[in-house]
Amino acid sequence: MIRLVLHGELRQYAPGKVLEVRGAGRSVGEVLRAVGVPAEASAAYVVNGEQCEPTTVLREGDEVEVLPAISGGAAEGALAGIRVIDLTRALAGPYCTLMLGDHGADVIKVELPGVGDETREWAPPYINGVSAYYLSINRNKRSVTLDLKHPDGKKVLERLIERADVVVENFSPGTLERLGFPPSRIREIDRRVILCRISGFGQDGPGRAWPAYDLIVQGLGGMMSLTGQPGGMPTMVGVPEADMIAGMFAAFAIAAALHARERTGEGQVIDATMIGGQVALLSRQAARYFADGTVPAPEGNVHASIVPYQTFHAADGYVNVCCGNNALFERMCRALDLEDLLGDARFADNAKRVAHRDALVPAIERRLSELPKNEVVRRLREANVPVGPISDLHEVFTDPVVRHLGLIAEVDHPVAGSVRAPGIPVRMDGTPPSVRRHPPVLGEHTDEVLSESGYTPEEILALRREGVV
């Protein structure tokens, strides 16, 4: 017999969480099929504490834990019934509307006929000829092609806005006005519509006309001045976080505005900026500057006020270790056979450890260099000391915790095939977010959306003949 442990949503397929089943000599996948668990519902498999593949053959007495794939989709998301007109492209705007779509909003992505969102051309890499970059941030949306410079295109947009709750745009400041849709015009069409405008440096003021890309804003916003090794070149964060953070703050502001509309009955205009998101993230470093005028410099992977709290080199890789109090420091020393450090008065409390960093850190480094990183992680986790390896992306996306939390989303695309991307980072038991739609092909839903907006087949055909859609 083997012991089969089903986690989360997988329990719906079998009676109970823990099952005793006959499975010796069969693979994990075969055992799961025998008890009625669909392969697509499972994300990761752990046999006797070690992650494995579904093809792993089991032995008598083995314990198998099975972790579920991404949850959600059965119930309506929190934003179900909210229609979003998405006039964005590149990253900050599409990331905002991605978040809204993941939580159930009907996102209608308006794109230029024949061209579309510029990220459709941001490649390689491609997946079957489709930009991987575009695929990563445009799920849960419907695509409509529309020439907003054409008079009939403007009429189509007006009709879309009439039926919308939210309009999101990230044109260069002033572009929406030149197209004939200043905030006042949008309010005339429907006073309940929320207009969210995303830009690098705001719709007015001295930075209004500056072009903004992630690298530029990371530099101007102070993030790069804090990132990297002491004395080295300022370093950008390894993902386009200035874009993504702007999109996150914009999505949060939209959710807040929707809630306010329930009370006031009125929409409002949101001015979300990339620079605003960067300044908001300065947090403790800004606190240091405001407290005593100190201008923080890059500290590498160490903490100015806590020791040890940094990256260490193990025998075969890197690990992060964080000891924020004396109890953690003591447990770390005992777990790593460094008890001699506990009797050293220089390390008796955090303030002394900070003062004697140059003596303490090399002693820890010498010990960790003797141990594989997985052994360091095992020892410190067993001692309940905060620790983690530095994982590459292969290690991230095969990690049992990442798989268990549904942090890999997979959806079938009509051209690219099966597409995987980072999943939805939160779970909600009442209104679960979900991946319902593949990233759309350019103009895939034009006829569908126009029909919903009251256009007849003949009118849609005329719009196509005129190049409006």
- Tokens at 273, concatenated: 């900026």
pLDDT at 74 exceeding the cut of 60: no
pLDDT of residue 9: 61
Mean pLDDT of the chain: 93
What is the mean predicted confidence (pLDDT) over 354-373?
A: 96
pLDDT digits (tens, 9 = 90+) for 89-100: 999 999 999 999
* pLDDT (0 to 100) of residue 64: 87
pLDDT at 75 over 60: no
**What is the pLDDT confidence band of residue 71, given thresholds at 50, 70 and 90?**
very low
The mean per-residue pLDDT over the stretch 165-177 comes to: 97
**Rounded average pLDDT over 191-211:** 96
pLDDT of residue 73: 45
Question: Which of these ranges, 125-139, 172-186, 287-301, 392-406, has the smallest mean pLDDT?
Answer: 392-406
Q: Residue 40 corresponds to which amino acid?
A: E
At 61, the amino acid letter reads G
Could you tell me the domains of the chain? 2-68 (3.10.20.30), 83-281+439-465 (3.40.50.10540), 309-313+318-389 (3.30.1540.10)
pLDDT, position 279: 97
Q: Is the pLDDT of residue 17 over 80?
A: no
pLDDT at 440 over 60: yes
The yes-or-no verdict on residue 386 having pLDDT over 50 is yes
Contact 228, 238 (CB under 8 A): no
Query: Residue 314 and residue 380: Cα distance in Å, rounded?
Result: 13
Higher pLDDT, 293 or 54: 293
Determine the 3-state secondary structure of 302 from DSSP: strand
- 62, 102, 243, 429: which one is catalytic? 243
Does residue 43 have a pLDDT over 70? no
β-pair type (83-87, 130-131): unpaired
Handedness of CA 335, 340, 346, 349 (dihedral sign): positive
Report yes or no: 424 and 101 within 8 Å, Cβ to Cβ.
Answer: no
Chain Cα centroid distance, residue 217: 19
Task: Reply yes or no: is the peptide bond before residue 94 cis, omega within 30 of 0.
Answer: no
What pLDDT sits at residue 200? 97
Q: How many CB atoms lie within 10 A of CB 401?
A: 10
What is the rounded distance in angstroms from the CA atom of residue 144 to the CA atom of residue 468? 11
Question: What is the structure's pLDDT at 72?
Answer: 41
Q: For position 122, what pLDDT does the model report?
A: 94
Asked about 243 being catalytic, the answer comes back as: yes
- Contacts with 446 (C-beta within 8 Å, 6 or more apart), sequence order: 143, 144, 145, 146, 460, 469
pTM, to two decimals: 0.83
Distance between CA atoms of residues 357 and 323, nearest Å: 13
Residue 66 has pLDDT above 90, yes or no: no
Chain centroid to Cα 463, Å, comes to 37
Predicted confidence (pLDDT) at residue 86 exceeds the cutoff of 70: yes
More confident residue, 421 or 12: 421
Cα–Cα distance, 426 to 428 (Å, whole number) = 7
Lowest-confidence region among 17-21, 83-87, 394-398: 17-21
Q: How far apart are CA 127 and CA 248, in angstroms?
A: 27
With CA atoms as reference, report the closest residue to 109 among 457, 445, 460, 451. Answer: 445
Position 400 pLDDT exceeds 90: no
By percentage, how much of the chain surpasses pLDDT 70? 96
pLDDT number for residue 250: 98
Q: What are phi and psi of 151, to 5 degrees?
A: -55, -40
Q: What is the pLDDT of residue 377?
A: 96
How many CB atoms neighbour CB 137 within 10 A?
A: 25
Instruction: Tell me the average pLDDT across 207-235.
Output: 95
At 449, is the pLDDT very low, low, confident or very high (cuts 50, 70, 90)?
very high
Backbone angles phi, psi at 271, to 5 degrees: -110, 95
Q: How far apart are CA 267 and CA 273, in angstroms?
A: 19
With vertex at residue 123, the alpha carbon angle to CA 121 and CA 124, rounded to the nearest 5 degrees, is 155
Residue 366: strand, helix, or coil: helix
3-state secondary structure (DSSP) of residue 422: strand
